[in-house]
Amino acid sequence: MNPNAPAASELKHELEHMCGNWVWFILLGALLAVCGTAAIVFPPVLVGTSIIVPVVLGVLLMVGGVATIISSFWAGKWSGFLLQLLVGVLYLVVGYVFTENPFKTALALTLFIAIVFIIVGIFRTTAALVLQFPQWGWALLNGVITFLAGVIIYRSLPEGAFWVIGLLIGLELLFNGWMWIMLALSLRSLHLKNA
């Protein structure tokens, strides 16, 4: 008997359960990709208006956080619920702190973002390698990019400008969004096969 059979059966059941929610996942992916693109584009455009940069980044992270939290509940009972909820809460907290006190906490937030990206990158990379769910390569790429973004942010301290943070936050949101889009498309094809 194959020792991986129970895990494969549970994964198959989870994927079948999630197939009905593929539209929500594609919407989440699109929203995260749009927020990521905005986070990349706005900071260089807003150079010289430095108070606006952290506020824009904070709002984009909060939007991404709320969407991620809601999507974790939309999917219903699944093994990725807690990790997805944690990522959403981290996005939300970092976004809120950015908008509340942009100058006094800039250095602390930069360090916090670096640590969060490093930890989330490690979790995503490990989950992709261990679970190998459909389109797991995208999750692996997402994890590696997130980890490297955290390392780059950390190494840019203290002179790292907000546009660097915006670029890296944007890349994180953009790759996270594309991971969800690719998973949603895979779920859609499973849904159409089973229909």
- Angstrom CA distances, 136 to 52, 83, 143, 183, 184, stand at 37, 16, 10, 8, 12
Q: pLDDT per residue over 136-181, tens digit each?
A: 888 899 899 999 988 988 887 766 656 677 777 888 889 989 988 9
pLDDT band at 11 (very low <50, low <70, confident <90, very high): low
pLDDT attached to residue 119: 93
For residue 46, which phi and psi values (nearest 5 degrees)?
-95, 15
pLDDT attached to residue 94: 83
Q: pLDDT per residue over 92-114, tens digit each?
A: 998 888 788 776 666 777 788 78
Per-residue pLDDT, averaged over 15-21, amounts to: 71
pLDDT band at 33 (very low <50, low <70, confident <90, very high): very high
pLDDT attached to residue 193: 73
pLDDT attached to residue 78: 64
Q: What count of Cα atoms within 13 Å lies in the side-chain half-sphere of residue 6?
A: 1
Q: Where are the domains of the chain?
A: 9-194
Question: Within 10 Å of residue 123's Cβ, how many Cβ atoms?
Answer: 16
- Taking the C-alpha atoms of residue 51 and residue 23, their distance in angstroms, rounded to an integer, is 36
Residue 4 · residue 131 · CB < 8 Å = no
pLDDT attached to residue 170: 85
